[in-house]
Amino acid sequence: MSEKKLMKGNEAIAEAAIRGGCRFFAGYPITPQNEIPEYMSWRLFEVGGQFVQSESEVAAINMVYGAAGAGARAMTSSSSPGISLKQEGISYIAGAELPCVIINMVRGGPGLGGIQPAQSDYFQATKGGGHGDYHMLVYGPSSVQECVDILYNAFDKADEYRIPVMILGDGMLGQIMEAVTLPEMKDVSKLPEKKWAATGKNTGENRRIINSLYIEPDELESLNRKLFDRYALIAERETKYEEYLCDDAEIVLTAYGTVARIAKSAVNILRENGIKAGLLRPITLYPFPSKAFLEVANRPSVRRFVCSELSMGQMIEDVKLAVEGKKPVDFYGRTGGNVMTPEDIVEFVRTEVLK
Amino acid sequence: MAKVFEKTKMLTDAPFHYCPGCTHGIAHRLVAEVLEEIGAEGHCIGIASVGCSVFAYNYFNCDMLQASHGRAPAVATGAKRADPSNIVFAYQGDGDLASIGMAEIVHAATRGEKITVIFINNAIYGMTGGQMAPTTLEGQKATTCIYGRNPEINGNPVKMCELLATLTGPSFIARESLADVKYIVAAKKAIKKAFEHQMKGDGFTMVELLSSCPTNWHMTPEQALEYVRGDMEKLYPLGVFKEV
């Protein structure tokens, strides 16, 4: 049965992951995501799962590698500096084609940075992050309910494509409390069998090996090509975005996550003031909804795009690539943990975009 | 004709890639024989690490996970907890376990993870060509300490059994040697004991095996075994350091 509850973003994410089948979690404390391991530390044992507070983020991602390799639905969470530490493990997970879910409640950087919300890990999340040719399936939810909906199905997607799935949140999304409808618990005993998993039950010719070492160049190249064929399939099937009042829009705002909510309010204020604004919101950040951007850019009504982020400008590179120079793209961002208001975006549109 | 000896079924038929005179082959066989004797077939996961034994996943006849450098105890933690009915072992060298993987081994041990770690101590980085290891002896030559390890410059060798035996989590910690037949027999007994403790759920178990590396020590296999029996055993005494 589904139920409605008032929940903090981080706790809703943890509960949705468990209802989606998560049975193993390893993590290390770091602000602003601590409610996720805290919730997992008691909740997982109630459903027959396992929780480990690891000695480091490095160990946590490798525990996830071990549990996922043995066939469990495994997850870890952290925030920016901790996610940097996990990059080697994520690369191995991608190379060994293991499914898992990784939460990044992004805080400002570089270095130790701050503990306030930021979106400055977009490049790291969408362009690889660790070494080697690989991608993750990356979601940028903008509400607690959307976090729940994405987490609930994230393990299915990870299993289907044997790919790490990342939820790129931010400190605000983790800390905010909202009413959410929680879906019912998935029956993990009825999940499809993982015919590749090193479950310990196999010997001889049926032995299963989880590995990312390919000494023969041709073998490594075929792995690289196989992974990228899979990414193309994911782009075809899993790309998600939201269009808001774009039909007659002259100014198209674009933003993801928390900023998309602020931008949506800015669209409403601009419309009240007679400016035809709309919002194009990527929900998957990798694959990026490039086709949707090009289609909107080709509309004669559209004059300019305005990309708004909590960074010095990272997603804007994908926006510019997607619109192929058909329309100009302006940038408005705040950093350091500062968050813009809808009025800030409205002011930017009035003074900088429509000048 | 009566069969008087058979290779253990817990090893595959893949030929070892190890150098002539290397003791990895002996260690592999001992572990595999013990796995067969304790009936691990069909419920066993091995973790290969980074170093000379990186290809261990080709040799053990069970499901295997290849771990990143130093992280085998963390990977083993995840694999064991995913299905505690499995016997889980990690096979690591000295660079992997005692240098880059120091945090993972100490914390897996202190958590009392119900896994068995086989620790090959040959006092050198073999796969990368003979650099100084955390366990390289004082005065021992390596490509990154060509005049011999000088504690003033290179620091001191680390004794893992002694270190881990101070913790509460381990149930069996022992050091044996592969440099002589009688030692090899004792090593097998220790390995078996470690796995039996794991099966009983007693806690973390590790067997360190003093091993030789004739290639990177620039010795004949016989000289290398002599070095293990002499200088190495003096610094790294054999025996059981903890059993509960």
pLDDT tens string A303-333: 999 999 999 999 999 999 999 999 999 999 9
Do A85 and A10 sit in the same domain of this protein? yes
Q: What percentage of chain A carries pLDDT values higher than 90?
A: 98
Q: From A238, A265, A280, give the residue that closes a domain.
A: A238
Do A199 and A79 sit in the same domain of this protein? yes
Average pLDDT of chain A to the nearest whole number? 97
The CATH number covering residue A324 comes to 3.40.50.920
- ipTM of the complex in this document: 0.94
In the DSSP assignment, the letter for residue A187 is -
Do A211 and A96 sit in the same domain of this protein? yes
In the predicted model, is pLDDT for residue A127 greater than 70? Answer: yes
Q: Which DSSP string do the residues of A56-98 spell out, in sequence order? A: SHHHHHHHHHHHHHTT--EEEEE-HHHHHHHHHHHHHHHHTT-
Residue B120, Cα to own-chain centre: how many angstroms?
Answer: 3
Across the interface, do B82 and A198 touch by the CB < 8 Å criterion? no
The pLDDT assigned to A355 comes to 83
Identify which of B64, B78, B111 has the shortest CB distance to residue A209: B64
User: How many residues can be counted in chain A?
Assistant: 355
Q: From A238, A263, A289, give the residue that closes a domain.
A: A238
The pLDDT assigned to A3 comes to 84
Do A29 and A126 sit in the same domain of this protein? yes
Q: Which comes out higher in pLDDT, residue A2 or A122? A: A122
Count other Cβ atoms within 10 Å, centred on residue A42.
9
- Taking CB atoms and an 8 Å cutoff, what residues of chain A touch B45? 70, 198-200
Q: pLDDT tens digits, residue range A92-117?
A: 999 999 999 999 999 999 999 999 99
Q: Does B83 touch chain A (CB under 8 A)?
A: yes
* pLDDT band for position B1 (cuts 50, 70, 90): confident
Across the interface, do A200 and B83 touch by the CB < 8 Å criterion? yes
What integer is the mean pLDDT of B196-219?
98
* pLDDT band for position A128 (cuts 50, 70, 90): confident
Q: Are A130 and A102 in contact (CB under 8 A)?
A: no
Q: Which domain holds residue A247?
A: 242-353
Q: Are A249 and A301 in contact (CB under 8 A)?
A: yes
Pick the closest to residue B114 from B146, B148, B138, B78 (CA basis): B78
Q: Which of A51, A55, A56, A98 to mutate to test the interface with B (most CBs of B within 10 A)?
A: A55
Do A263 and A152 sit in the same domain of this protein? no
Do A133 and A151 sit in the same domain of this protein? yes
Q: Are A323 and A288 in contact (CB under 8 A)?
A: no
Do A73 and A49 sit in the same domain of this protein? yes
DSSP-derived 3-state class of residue A111: coil
The pLDDT assigned to A1 comes to 59
Do A170 and A318 sit in the same domain of this protein? no
CA angle, A13 then A123 then A73, to 5°: 35
Number of domains chain A is built from: 2
- Taking CB atoms and an 8 Å cutoff, what residues of chain A touch B82? 23-24, 50, 66-67, 70-72, 74
Do A67 and A55 sit in the same domain of this protein? yes
What phi, psi does A205 have (nearest 5°)? -65, -20
Q: CA of B189, closest CA in chain A: separation in Å?
A: 24
Across the interface, do B78 and A26 touch by the CB < 8 Å criterion? yes
Q: pLDDT tens digits, residue range A181-200?
A: 999 999 999 999 999 999 99
Q: Go through the domains of chain B in sequence order and give each one's CATH number.
A: 24-234 (3.40.50.970)
Q: CA of A28, closest CA in chain B: separation in Å?
A: 13
Q: From A200, A216, A238, give the residue that closes a domain.
A: A238
Do A232 and A251 sit in the same domain of this protein? no
Across the interface, do B83 and A74 touch by the CB < 8 Å criterion? no
The CATH number covering residue A123 comes to 3.40.50.970
Do A69 and A111 sit in the same domain of this protein? yes
In the predicted model, is pLDDT for residue A2 greater than 90? Answer: no
Residue A207 and residue A198: Cα distance in Å, rounded? 8
Do A153 and A209 sit in the same domain of this protein? yes
Residue B161 and residue B157: Cα distance in Å, rounded? 12
